[in-house]
Structure 1
Amino acid sequence: MRCTILGAGSWGTALGATLASKGFPVCLWDKDAPVLQAIAQKHENTRYLPGLALPPSLAAAPDMARALEGAELVVFAVPSQAVRQVAIEGKRLLHAGVPICSVAKGIEVDTLMTMSEVLEDVLPVPMHPYLTFLSGPSFAKEVAAGLPTAVTIAGRWERISKQVQDAFHTRTFRPYTSTDVVGVEVGGCVKNVIAIAAGLSDGMGFGANARAALITRGLAEIGRLAMRKGANPMTLSGLSGLGDLVLTCSSEQSRNHTVGFELGRGKKLEEIQRALGQVAEGVLNTRSTRDLARKLKVEMPISEMVYRVLYEGQAPRQAVGELMNREMKPEN
């Protein structure tokens, strides 16, 4: 199976390495020519996954047409806010009948569309049944290193989801399938916002009790938004909901947790993002999640708190104080 990965960041490279480890010919495409050059010549993504040797069969091409030539599986691994543009550039090169797997986690800021809605908005209708969406607790560095990982692949056509599942399955990478595209997508997006909140709490030294409360109440927020969009609530108790949320909220490897942690210690957002050198999806996801929640009239106080800290300059301690002093109510 010839595979193309659109996006040579840490996640795209890790998934490309996973597919290449099975002997599949894999080609990475990206607009970052130096990254592609390092992959092709040194078999290493020196910017995003330094020190990890990549399979020699993992190729790289800066020309999208060349990268997509003969592809039997196409993976969208660019940041969520770039998915629309990459889909526009690639749609004339994609073919109906080829499975497409999006691994981007986000809600588009301008339209408040999920990634499935964005791709269905751009790509021709005959391609829609071939769209799948991969999400779950998975740090790219650990996947690339071959450490055990389990994820969920959602799609509306089970036969296609099973094809993508079979393609990605290795001895250390175990995908499950789901038909709940909305639940998997919302879980993968909003957990980034909650991770910033958990990082804020940790950065201010609030301890394990506060982190556990944020994870639990954050899951309730994710569930409310997902169900308003038609998701199955059981999806949020699985890998793409609770699993991804726990991982992202409790590990120093999480870029979104790092953003919150450094904000909690008093650093400025611009300074933190420069130091990261990679996209922390939760920063823009916070804006789109908050706007979508308001549009759908879903109560999401933690997400609202993170929005105020990121975009309105509210002091983290004041935001947390307001969160804790909201009107008392039953747990639901």
Structure 2
Amino acid sequence: MKRLTATLLVVSVLFSGCSLFQKDPQEAVNEGVKEFAQVKRASSLTKVSGIIHSPAGETPAQITFDFEVQGQADSTNQEEPRFDVTMKVNVGVDDKKGSAEIQVRSLNKKLFLKLNSLSLPGQPAELEEQLKTISQTWWNIPMEDTPFGKLNEEQKGLQEKLKNLTFFENAAEDGPEVVQGMDGTRYRVDLNKEAVKELLVEISRLGGQIPSPEEQTALADALSELSFSGVLTIGEDDALHRVRSTVSVQPTQGASSSFDIDYQGWDYGEKFELAEPADAREFSPLLLLPLMSTLGSLSAPAEAILPAEGDLGAEQTPESTEAEGVPAQ
């Protein structure tokens, strides 16, 4: 009888999903973030959309944007990072719209860039023609002076900091989810703002700028005006595979904003093929001079282009205007 009772107890536990056999939500989240930080090779998709509202009476009154980055990255060899990503952005400034799509590829310590499309609000025909000279072409950007070693040291410093910080807290299980074929579990979380502040201070320090106590206080005040709602998905491999969050900033003064963020990562550790574009051309900053000139004229204020009222110019004297049939003043 005792053996039968023990058997029934084991069976009931296994089929009831008893919490004795489930990982603590906060422990699962902490472990998932640490596992994710160790990933060297992956595919990913990041989407960010947001809206910024200016204070009443200020212009522009509203700015909206959608940003998407999708691709693959491999940092197993930190001296020669490899990645291939496509970036898309759409921006709205009040009733004016703009968009762009760019491909970026890095391998063999070379950086390649391709401008697929670019549309600016009120884009003139002249600018459209100039864009044709640089778009739809792979460009090889010189990388000889890129400090890979310094970047790697900074990355290592951040990784060490990440190991000791808990960015998400108060985790609570929120049901199952499949991310790009990986079974996982969703967890609702809160944001640890103190950990975020420590990370931002560390990033500044690695960049050679140590924030003063006053600056750190101002940073903490800014974070206090931020609200966060987030869901993380931890896969069966115990690694983080998705982050969805809404971040809102409602300051007592200045612009308010809200952002939706959705990150997905998959194929952790999977190798992928990557080759240099066969038709890539060497890039020269001189190619941008006509484009920058046109953009400058578009953004120049009217008073910088038109002569001020009553200004006849250095060569236009009252005598010359009278000779041309214009009465002298």
The TM-score, its normalising length taken from structure 1, stands at 0.23
Greater relative contact order (Cα < 8 A, sep 6+): 2
**Which structure carries more helix by proportion?**
1
User: Larger Cα Rg: Structure 1 or Structure 2?
Assistant: 2
Which protein is richer in strand relative to its size?
2
